[in-house]
DNA sequence: AAAAAAATGTACTCTATGGTACGGTCATGC
DNA sequence: GCATGACCGTACCATAGAGTACATTTTTTT
């Protein structure tokens, strides 16, 4: 349990401390994320987080001087998931239908997983009081997905694979079709998760309807 | 300012009192509604409502013994708006396209007005902690609209005005198309209200796309 | 006019919670 | 091995807000 690291590293002197600190910060964010997503902003207590963390309140405050600051960092961390979402596979060499079905199924799967729903609820619930929160979320989440889709659709239109039209509108239509019905039910808690295979099935239907108009 | 009522009414003795009480209860609900819609459940304080009401806390508590109870009644009142929504004009004798455009525009207008958005935010934000809330809202709001649409579509299909298919799916598709893009932006606060005429314009587009598939 | 019911204002209790202070302990780094 | 920074536990402060108590006043009923 001693430091198993060569003492040669002299570029970052207090390296062991810093590493531990990062680790701890990570743990804090993880716990806080759980709390915020589960109980909302107002429903989350710093004392609760501290307790759940095992450590003392003093420690927590030494990392985050206020609830607001902690909330900010948690948001940063949570929207990271959405940033990765950008990595969604939009195979430009596959046939349009295949590419769209794949991306829609992926989109639907990600947007309907419990954590995404919890985040969505949190954002929507607090959007009235933290306008910034809504903006940040939108720009990092829906907006990027929209751009991605829109760009792909524009290219497909240019290639002649889709009929010429406003690609922005088309992208909106496609994502709306994807979420139709399911998302709202999830958001208000009428269902807890998507039935298995439903993402794939519905993606096919959505794309079919989309192509009926755009091809 | 004396009682200008004939003293003959002996069926409901203390009528003056009861009337006043109903009035007061109404005022309470109105103020509470404003608070809850604006600040969410946790952000609303009974003391604040009492103060805003002008009266004293004792009075407020004599009507509602707890915040939860008050919240419940506020919800009842607010979802009434949605119940009326059922009165939406679905002209069964008009051409399908006209009927759908009308109902979609109406739907979009109602769903995007600030109070509806505030309610939606409230419900979604608290759905995790008050599962009942989500259910009540869903049943009184989206579900009824869905049934209405679905029934109309089924009839149109039977008449041969729309191609035979699952009317439930079709209804979902139509309402999703209606809300495409706009609703999400409103919910996260990216925009505050719909641009004028946008409801009408978008309703036409949505119905056009819908009919491309279902006719 | 007198009694009953309801409303008011004020002051209070109790609990939760954000945030602080501090003395002791343990790991880290020199 | 010793100084230092991080951590722990715990007790604490201040404030907000739910809910209560009560003495006083207003309104309604009879």
| Domain closes at, from B27, B48, B71 | B71
Q: Name the residue facing A212 among B127, B169, B213 (closest C-beta).
A: B213
B27 in a structural domain: yes
Distance B88 CA to D11 C1' (A): 62
What are B107-151's pLDDT values in tens digits?
899 889 898 999 999 999 988 888 888 888 898 888 888 998 999
Residue B175, C-beta contacts closer than 8 angstroms, at least 6 positions apart: A180, B107, B142, B145, B146, B149
Rounded to whole angstroms, the Cα distance separating A3 from B175 reads 61
Q: What's the pLDDT at B20?
A: 85
Q: What's the pLDDT at A4?
A: 39
Helix extents (H) in B65-192: 67-85, 96-111, 114-126, 131-140, 142-159, 167-179, 182-187
Rounded to whole angstroms, the Cα distance separating A211 from A170 reads 10
A152 in a structural domain: yes
Rounded to whole angstroms, the Cα distance separating B188 from A82 reads 16
B81 in a structural domain: no
What are B66-101's pLDDT values in tens digits?
998 999 899 888 887 766 665 567 888 899 999 999
Q: Name the residue facing B135 among A123, A180, A190 (closest C-beta).
A: A190
If chain A, 215 residues long, is cut into consecutive pieces of 10 residues, what is the mean pLDDT of each piece?
37 66 90 91 91 89 91 85 66 90 90 91 88 85 89 95 96 95 94 93 96 93
Query: B57: Cβ under 7 Å from strand C?
Result: yes
Asked if residue B140 lies in contact with residue B83, where contact means CB atoms within 8 angstroms, the answer is yes
Asked if residue A154 lies in contact with residue A166, where contact means CB atoms within 8 angstroms, the answer is no
User: In Å, what is the CA distance from B5 to each residue of A141, B1, B17?
Assistant: 63, 11, 13
Residues A102, A70 share a domain: no
Average pLDDT over residues B157-161: 95
The total number of structural domains in chain B stands at 2
B101 in a structural domain: yes
Which residue lies nearest C22, CA-to-C1' measured? A58
Residues B107, B42 share a domain: no
Residues A130, A65 share a domain: no
Residues A115, A37 share a domain: no
A128 in a structural domain: yes
The CA-CA-CA angle for residues A171, A176, A181, to 5°, reads 165
User: In Å, what is the CA distance from B182 to each residue of B81, B106, B151, B202?
Assistant: 21, 14, 26, 10
Rounded to whole angstroms, the Cα distance separating A9 from A157 reads 55
Rounded to whole angstroms, the Cα distance separating B187 from A138 reads 10
Residues A65, A141 share a domain: no
A81 in a structural domain: no
Rounded to whole angstroms, the Cα distance separating A49 from A90 reads 40
Residue B58: CATH number of its domain: 1.10.10.60
Residues A154, A102 share a domain: yes
Residues A90, A62 share a domain: no
Residues A202, A107 share a domain: yes
pLDDT confidence bin for B153, thresholds 50/70/90:
very high
Rounded to whole angstroms, the Cα distance separating A198 from A207 reads 14
Average pLDDT over residues B185-208: 94
Does the structure show a pLDDT above 50 at B167? yes
Residues B194, B132 share a domain: yes
Asked if residue A175 lies in contact with residue A149, where contact means CB atoms within 8 angstroms, the answer is yes
**How many CA atoms does the CB half-sphere of B165 hold within 13 Å?**
17
Radius of gyration of chain A measured on its C-alpha atoms: 22
Q: Which residue has the higher pLDDT, B190 or B91?
A: B190
For strand D, the positions having any atom within 7 A of a protein Cβ are 5-11, 16-23, 27-30
Residue A159: CATH number of its domain: 1.10.357.10
Asked if residue A103 lies in contact with residue A89, where contact means CB atoms within 8 angstroms, the answer is yes
Of the candidate ranges A25-39, B14-28, B65-79, B157-171, the one whose mean pLDDT is the lowest:
B14-28
Residues A170, A143 share a domain: yes
Neighbours of B10 (CB within 10 A): 7
Q: Token digits for B209?
A: 């796309």
A40 and B42: CB-CB below 8 Å?
A: yes
What are B42-68's pLDDT values in tens digits?
889 999 999 998 889 999 999 999 998
User: In Å, what is the CA distance from B70 to each residue of A43, A73, A211, B12, B53?
Assistant: 19, 35, 49, 27, 14
A4 in a structural domain: no
- Coil, helix or strand for A122? helix
Q: Token digits for A134?
A: 């809504």
Residues A93, A175 share a domain: yes
The answer to whether A39 contacts chain B (CB < 8 Å) is yes
| Residue ranges making up the domain that contains B191 | 86-214
Residues B151, B52 share a domain: no
B9 in a structural domain: no
In this complex, the nucleotide whose C1' atom is nearest to the CA atom of residue A12 is C29
Q: Name the residue facing A134 among B134, B190, B209 (closest C-beta).
A: B190
What are B199-214's pLDDT values in tens digits?
999 999 999 999 999 9
- Contact residues, chain B, for A179 at CB < 8 Å: 176
């Amino acid at each position: 349990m001693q430091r198993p690291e060569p003492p040669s590293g002299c570029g970052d002197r207090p390296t062991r401390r810093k590493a531990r600190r990062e680790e701890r910060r990570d743990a804090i964010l993880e716990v806080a994320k759980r709390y915020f997503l589960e109980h909302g902003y107002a429903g989350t207590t710093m004392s609760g987080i501290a307790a759940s963390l095992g450590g003392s309140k003093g420690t927590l405050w030494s990392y985050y001087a206020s609830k607001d600051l902690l909330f900010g960092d948690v948001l940063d961390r949570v929207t990271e998931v959405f940033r990765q979402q950008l990595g969604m596979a939009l195979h430009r060499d596959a046939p349009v239908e295949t590419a769209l079905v794949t991306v829609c199924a992926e989109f639907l799967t990600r947007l309907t997983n419990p954590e995404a729903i919890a985040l969505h609820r949190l954002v929507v619930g607090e959007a009235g009081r933290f306008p910034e929160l809504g903006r940040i979320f939108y720009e990092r989440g829906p907006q990027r997905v929209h751009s991605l889709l829109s760009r792909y659709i524009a290219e497909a239109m240019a290639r002649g694979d889709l009929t010429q039209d406003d690609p922005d509108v088309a992208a909106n239509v496609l994502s709306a079709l994807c979420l139709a019905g399911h998302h709202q039910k999830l958001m208000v808690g009428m269902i807890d998760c998507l039935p298995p295979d439903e993402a794939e099935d519905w993606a096919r239907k959505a794309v079919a309807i989309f192509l009926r108009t755009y091809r």
